[in-house]
């Protein structure tokens, strides 16, 4: 099936997630869509799979214009999507899951479908036991089942979203062989990824997106330099390596926190031997694409998740097996990026937040907390009143509230994308506030998808890729290009 996209646009308010995207997907081929976080890949795929309606633009299938806006309609047209998280029923068997998506008669002839399932599996080189329960399967196997199910539904165009995340190398090879086989059979495969190696290994043709626009189209053989240039392009060149707004920490003292060989297996994300030393007053920026492991790493660092292997020492004290209260007692504080879901109490007022965090006495002393609350509201310019519930605050003000809940004596602040959803001015304010209150007094480890933010703020940058720390360098010793390459999984070995 040949699919042609013409001027696809998707606007969310002022944000242009997709801006006039046009390209053609040929049959018998594997077509890659490459781009960093927020480039517009996912939105485009959701439009194609019928999950999100497009703002404007046209889709042609074999030359005929089609209009659809539900996944069911897309499936009828032969377009199926494999999601990053398998959409299946863990409590059922492989066969039952296989049957659920199909149109069967009310009386199911189990044998017939077992044969069908086994045949399809054999063709693709998958080894799935029909009677096995899904909860006992690996993510890779569940993915295989999903592919088989989609094929049984008659899908001609298969969209895969980051399929190699969280599966073993072996399973990746099985998957890639199967995909190549399917392409040969005449199917069109659309592979969405931010991993250069996957794209270069598989794809016959690649479309690179950046900022919602197509910035390049390439045919195999692919040149990684060119791809990277297209992916980050002008962006990296615009970043000025002007040095951190935070004062440089004093020369090498002993590290405040030492993380050694952390390994952790948490669903799709696996951390492998991650080590990091944090010196007093040091600001460390973590770069990496979504789900590369940084989210889990930050939570381990905060004591919220226990690693399976490795040690964490703080000022020489081993805290590996301790819970997060001990981490708090050692002045380590974490601010998650999902403010309302993980960091604040939606229905509690500002006053109640301060009462809860800053008072330890049995009786609540509302008067003194009220004073403190007014003080904080003024200091941090929070647009709210003491009796405003947290959920009524805007994103920026929620962030200010979270910051105001950090104690002055904090030694290590762990901030997960602290400026998410903030406009430039608010983002700048956040960093200035942190610098004013904690400059040289505390270390900060933060993650951010914005490289320019990391280059403006951090002393040191580390890059996560596939659960590993791929790069760890002082900002002064690296370039935006080098970091950009590492984010996509490419490091030059000096």
Is residue 89 a contact residue for other proteins (CB under 8 A)? no
Q: Which two tokens stand for residue 308?
A: 């399976």
Residue range at the interface with other proteins (CB under 8 A); choices 122-130, 334-342, 417-425, 429-437: 334-342
Helix (H) or strand (E) holding 215, with range, is strand 213-219
Is residue 341 a contact residue for other proteins (CB under 8 A)? yes
Q: Which of 207, 107, 86 is nearest to 150 (CA)?
A: 86
**Cα-atom radius of gyration of the chain, to the nearest Å?**
25
Q: Say how far apart CA 221 and CA 227 lie, in whole Å.
A: 11
Is residue 405 a contact residue for other proteins (CB under 8 A)? yes
Pair type for strands 213-219 and 205-210: antiparallel
Question: Shortest distance, CB of residue 56 to other proteins, whole angstroms?
Answer: 33
In this complex, which beta carbon is closest to other proteins, that of residue 17 or of residue 405? 405
Question: Shortest distance, CB of residue 492 to other proteins, whole angstroms?
Answer: 39
Is residue 390 within 8 Å of residue 398, measured between CB atoms? Answer: yes
Which residues lie closer than 8 Å to 229 by C-beta, 6 or more apart?
A: none
Is residue 384 a contact residue for other proteins (CB under 8 A)? no
Q: Which of 327, 317, 246, 330 is nearest to 285 (CA)?
A: 246
In this complex, which beta carbon is closest to other proteins, that of residue 59 or of residue 369? 369
In this complex, which beta carbon is closest to other proteins, that of residue 219 or of residue 356? 356
Question: Shortest distance, CB of residue 268 to other proteins, whole angstroms?
Answer: 20
The tokens 């296989």 sit on which residue? 98
In this complex, which beta carbon is closest to other proteins, that of residue 150 or of residue 351? 351
Is residue 219 a contact residue for other proteins (CB under 8 A)? no
In this complex, which beta carbon is closest to other proteins, that of residue 131 or of residue 341? 341
Question: Shortest distance, CB of residue 342 to other proteins, whole angstroms?
Answer: 5
Name 216's bridge partners.
208
Is residue 321 a contact residue for other proteins (CB under 8 A)? no
Residue range at the interface with other proteins (CB under 8 A); choices 148-156, 196-204, 280-288, 335-343: 335-343
Backbone torsions φ then ψ of 51, nearest 5 degrees: -85, -30
Question: Shortest distance, CB of residue 335 to other proteins, whole angstroms?
Answer: 8
Within residues 280-309, the interface with other proteins by CB under 8 A covers 304
Question: Can you tell me whether residue 461 is helix, strand or coil?
Answer: strand
Residue range at the interface with other proteins (CB under 8 A); choices 142-150, 187-195, 329-337, 423-431: 329-337
* Residue 96: count of CB within 10 angstroms of its CB: 18
Considering only 9, 153, 220, 328, the residue that binds other proteins (CB under 8 A) is 328
Is residue 324 a contact residue for other proteins (CB under 8 A)? yes
In this complex, which beta carbon is closest to other proteins, that of residue 246 or of residue 334? 334
Q: Say how far apart CA 381 and CA 377 lie, in whole Å.
A: 5
Question: Shortest distance, CB of residue 349 to other proteins, whole angstroms?
Answer: 11
Q: Say how far apart CA 457 and CA 434 lie, in whole Å.
A: 11
Residue range at the interface with other proteins (CB under 8 A); choices 57-65, 72-80, 99-107, 338-346: 338-346
Residue range at the interface with other proteins (CB under 8 A); choices 72-80, 90-98, 250-258, 323-331: 323-331
The tokens 């105001």 sit on which residue? 404
Give the total of residues touching other proteins (CB under 8 A): 29
* Residue 436: count of CB within 10 angstroms of its CB: 8
In this complex, which beta carbon is closest to other proteins, that of residue 228 or of residue 445? 445
Q: Which of 194, 438, 255, 475 is nearest to 335 (CA)?
A: 438
Which residues lie closer than 8 Å to 220 by C-beta, 6 or more apart?
A: 203, 204, 205
Here's the x/- map for other proteins, 343-382, by CB under 8 A: it reads as xxxxxx---x--xxx-xxxxxx-x----------------
Q: What is the dihedral of CA 467, 344, 357, 279, to 10 degrees?
A: 30
Is residue 159 within 8 Å of residue 190, measured between CB atoms? Answer: yes
In this complex, which beta carbon is closest to other proteins, that of residue 75 or of residue 442? 442
Is residue 408 a contact residue for other proteins (CB under 8 A)? no
How would you class 389 by CB atoms within 10 Å of its CB: exposed for 0-12, middle for 13-18, buried for 19 or more?
Answer: middle
Enumerate binding residues for other proteins (CB under 8 A): 304, 324-325, 328-329, 333-336, 341-348, 352, 355-357, 359-364, 366, 405
């Amino acid at each position: 099936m040949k699919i042609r996209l013409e001027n696809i646009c998707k606007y969310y308010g002022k944000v242009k997630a997709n801006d006039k995207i046009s390209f053609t997907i040929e049959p018998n081929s594997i077509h890659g869509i490459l781009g960093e976080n927020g480039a517009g890949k996912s939105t485009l795929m959701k439009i194609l799979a019928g999950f999100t309606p497009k703002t404007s633009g046209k889709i042609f299938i074999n030359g005929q214009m089609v209009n659809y806006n539900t996944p069911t309609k897309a499936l009828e047209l032969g377009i199926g999507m494999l999601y990053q998280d398998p959409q299946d029923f863990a409590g059922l068997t492989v066969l039952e899951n296989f049957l659920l998506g199909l149109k069967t008669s009310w009386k199911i002839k189990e044998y017939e479908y077992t044969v069908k399932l086994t045949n399809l599996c054999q063709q693709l080189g998958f080894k799935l036991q029909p009677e096995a329960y899904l909860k006992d399967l690996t993510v890779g196997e569940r993915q295989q089942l999903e592919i088989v199910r989609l094929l049984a539904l008659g899908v001609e165009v298969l969209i895969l979203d980051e399929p190699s995340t969280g599966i073993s190398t072996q399973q990746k090879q099985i998957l890639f062989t199967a995909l190549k086989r399917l392409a040969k059979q005449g199917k069109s495969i659309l592979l969405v990824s931010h991993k250069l190696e996957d794209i270069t290994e598989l794809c016959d043709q690649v479309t690179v997106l950046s900022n919602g626009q197509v910035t390049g189209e390439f045919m195999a053989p692919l040149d990684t330099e060119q791809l990277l240039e297209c992916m980050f392009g002008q962006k990296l060149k615009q970043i000025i390596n002007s040095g951190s707004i935070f004062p440089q920490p004093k020369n090498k003292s002993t590290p405040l926190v030492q993380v050694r060989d952390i390994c952790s297996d948490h669903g799709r994300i696996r951390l492998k031997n991650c080590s990091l030393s944090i010196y007093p007053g040091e600001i460390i920026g973590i770069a990496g694409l979504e789900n590369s492991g940084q989210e889990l790493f930050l939570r381990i660092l905060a004591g919220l998740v226990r690693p399976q292997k490795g040690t964490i020492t703080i000022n020489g004290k081993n805290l590996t097996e301790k819970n997060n209260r001990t981490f708090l007692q050692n002045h380590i504080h974490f601010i998650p990026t999902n403010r309302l879901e993980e960091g604040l109490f939606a229905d509690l007022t500002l006053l109640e937040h301060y009462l809860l965090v800053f008072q330890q006495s049995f009786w609540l002393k509302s008067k003194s907390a009220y004073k403190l609350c007014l003080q904080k509201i003024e200091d941090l310019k929070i647009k709210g009143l003491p009796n405003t519930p947290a959920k009524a605050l805007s994103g920026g003000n929620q962030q200010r509230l979270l910051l105001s809940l950090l104690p002055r004596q904090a030694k290590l602040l762990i901030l997960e994308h602290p400026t998410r959803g903030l406009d430039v001015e608010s983002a700048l304010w956040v960093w200035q506030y942190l610098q004013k209150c904690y400059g040289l007094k505390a270390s900060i480890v933060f993650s951010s998808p914005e490289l320019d933010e990391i280059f403006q703020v951090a002393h040191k940058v580390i890059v996560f890729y596939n659960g590993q720390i791929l790069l760890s360098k002082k900002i002064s010793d690296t370039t935006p290009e080098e970091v950009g390459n590492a984010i996509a999984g490419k490091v030059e070995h000096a």
